[in-house]
Amino acid sequence: MSAKKINKKKANTISLSGKCLIAVPGISDIRFSRSVIFVCANAKDGSMGLIINRPILPFKFDELLKHLDVALPEVTDNAPDIVYGGPVESSRGFVLHSSDFSLASTIDIAGGVSITTTMDILTMVAKGMGPQSCMVALGYVSWKEGQLEEELKGNMWLICDGDKELVFGTPYNKKWQKAMERIGINPNMFSLTQGSS
């Protein structure tokens, strides 16, 4: 087998988990306009991610706990934001957080970012015993087998590295711009006619 074929095969097996998808300007699906999606899982049978730049305002963490019947005496001052994670199962919650915290159900993704989906983490966060940084995402984005790859070929998304600085350390209204800048693109100069190799 030639080196060229080996490299091509390797490129096709690179996981997108821990990467961020950046919606191109003028994306055809307006639900994802200027979205930045942190890819939590990318497997042969499909992919899953969370939109990280759409806070649900004025919905608060204590309101979420009440809605979930989590009885706690007090919510900490540094309560996490609630974000719109995507259009699939909007009543389902995910806690995207820094990797300094872990429970048995926690999955470490990449770049110092982990995900936990059990109720225990909400209790820990409310008591001030949770991760240093986190957000609660309601809903998610999913792709069936081969769908994300086709969307990438169709130039719907750009890709940048995802890490806790972009996910948690960048203001929501700056994440899309910051993600574009990470790959050396000025959004104002971006042309939809540019192809990807």
Tens digit of each residue's pLDDT (9 = 90 or more) over 111-146: 999 999 999 999 899 888 999 999 999 999 999 999
Give bridge partners of residue 136 from the DSSP assignment. 82, 95
Number of other residues whose CB lies within 10 A of the CB of residue 136: 23
Number of other residues whose CB lies within 10 A of the CB of residue 2: 7
Domain spans, the chain: 15-188
Average pLDDT, the chain: 87
Separation of alpha carbons 42 and 143, rounded Å: 9
**In this predicted structure, what is the pLDDT of residue 6?**
32
| CATH superfamily membership of 15-188 | VC0467-like (3.40.1740.10)
pLDDT at 41 over 70: yes
Separation of alpha carbons 133 and 144, rounded Å: 30
